[in-house]
Amino acid sequence: MTLGKIKMSVATAIATVLLVSGASAQDTKGTKASAELKADYDGSVVGKRIAYLPIMYGSPLALEWGRVLQREAEHRGIIYELRDPNSNVDAQLQALKALIDSQPDVIVVQNPSVTLLMRDLKRAEEQGIHVIQVNMASNYRSDAFVGVDWREIGRMIGEDVVKECGAGSGKSGKVAVVQGEITAAGSIDQMAGINAAFAEDPSIEIVSNQAGNWLADTAKNLTDVVIQQHPDLCAHIGFWGLMQSGAAQAIRNAGKIDDVIVYASGAGSVLDCDQINQGNFDKYLSYTGTVQGHALFNAALSLLQGDDEPGEIKRAYYTRPVWLDASNADAKNCFPLDEN
């Protein structure tokens, strides 16, 4: 309990005492319906365990999800557990197995690839644990998916690229893409969305399409080459803000930052917004990490309150991607990192 909460409860207590002293006892209970609702709610959620297993807790998005989850869960009396494999897939695999053995009520997991954790997620549900996959899904459909629709992300970016670089724009129509981990859901589906959008304008040409494996360094190295080969590049798409900052650096180094339209998508943290405001990213599609965190928690709540056995019904909670650019990349739309 933080100091603020203590103050708050003290204030509430005092207020209650004041009220009680001036009114009849009946008023302290409120309406019967609301009391029952709350009692049912508490009955299904209080004391339950939510385990959170991101790829790397140090990334802004994972941090934001974790922050929201923890704050909300603890407020509702739900036990929150964090396992941080720090990008070590072996550790993540081990942690997941151990989590399954320890039987929490909900596991929130971010998949490094569509296959790696698949079997174990299935096993988790077989053992009565609800599984929520966040943003990065696996080939296994679990109780809930929370996150962006990667095809939608891909399509939105793709369509914007067509608008900026396509027929009639007077630009070269050349586009370079740096994907994330090639086997991650975020890469596979996003690429599909982009391809779908580009299919509508034959003047768009993908001159480079490579995997940056979520690493800024790799993205920079790849882009260094691309920008040399294609000085007339119109747009550059990177699948993740932190990775794309490397590509943007390469473009800036080549003196093309004002010519090439740099697209990125990502968590929507101040790190990405800084990139926008520094002119490195021209258009940025934010997943809105804070919103996703709340969506995650709500998905968990509905799983806990529902009667469905794990694996019985598959739900999805897509969050709405939000365009950010220099005009709106401000504190209102970008979540800070230091609030933990």
- Whole-number minimum distance, CB 103 to other proteins, in Å? 9
The dihedral region occupied by 87, where left means phi > 0, alpha psi between -120 and 50, and beta the remainder, is: left
- Whole-number minimum distance, CB 154 to other proteins, in Å? 15
Q: Which is nearer to other proteins, 20 or 182 (CB)?
A: 182
- Whole-number minimum distance, CB 113 to other proteins, in Å? 5
Q: Which is nearer to other proteins, 137 or 329 (CB)?
A: 137
Question: Which residues contact residue 205 at a Cβ distance below 8 angstroms, ignoring those fewer than 6 apart?
Answer: 173, 174, 175
> Scanning the structure block, which residue is given the tokens 């494999």?
85
What are the φ and ψ backbone dihedral angles of 77, each rounded to 5 degrees? Answer: 75, 25
Q: Which is nearer to other proteins, 6 or 182 (CB)?
A: 182
In Å, how far are 10, 25, 70, 333 from 17, measured between CA atoms?
11, 11, 31, 41
Q: Which is nearer to other proteins, 215 or 291 (CB)?
A: 215
Contact between 269 and 335 (Cβ < 8 Å): yes
- Whole-number minimum distance, CB 215 to other proteins, in Å? 9
- Whole-number minimum distance, CB 119 to other proteins, in Å? 7
Q: What are the structure tokens assigned to 13, written together?
A: 């207590």
Q: Which is nearer to other proteins, 88 or 203 (CB)?
A: 88
CA-based nearest residue to 154, from 123, 109, 199: 199
- Whole-number minimum distance, CB 192 to other proteins, in Å? 10
CA separation for the pair 56, 112 (Å, rounded): 10
Please report, to the nearest 10 degrees, the dihedral formed by the alpha carbons of residues 241, 190, 314, 107 taken in order: -30
- Whole-number minimum distance, CB 145 to other proteins, in Å? 16
Q: Which is nearer to other proteins, 113 or 288 (CB)?
A: 113
- Whole-number minimum distance, CB 93 to other proteins, in Å? 7
Q: Which is nearer to other proteins, 122 or 256 (CB)?
A: 122
Q: Which is nearer to other proteins, 57 or 263 (CB)?
A: 57
CB atoms within 10 A of CB 218: 17
- 3-class DSSP assignment, residue 16: helix
- 3-class DSSP assignment, residue 18: helix
- Whole-number minimum distance, CB 164 to other proteins, in Å? 27
Bridging pattern class, strands 283-286 and 261-266: parallel
CA separation for the pair 171, 160 (Å, rounded): 14
In Å, how far are 93, 106, 138, 178, 300 from 125, measured between CA atoms?
16, 9, 14, 34, 14
Q: Which is nearer to other proteins, 79 or 326 (CB)?
A: 79
Sites of contact with other proteins (CB under 8 A): 56-58, 81-91, 93-95, 97-98, 101-102, 112-116, 118-119, 139, 181-184, 188, 211, 213
Ranges of H-type helices in 23-149: 32-45, 60-75, 89-102, 118-126
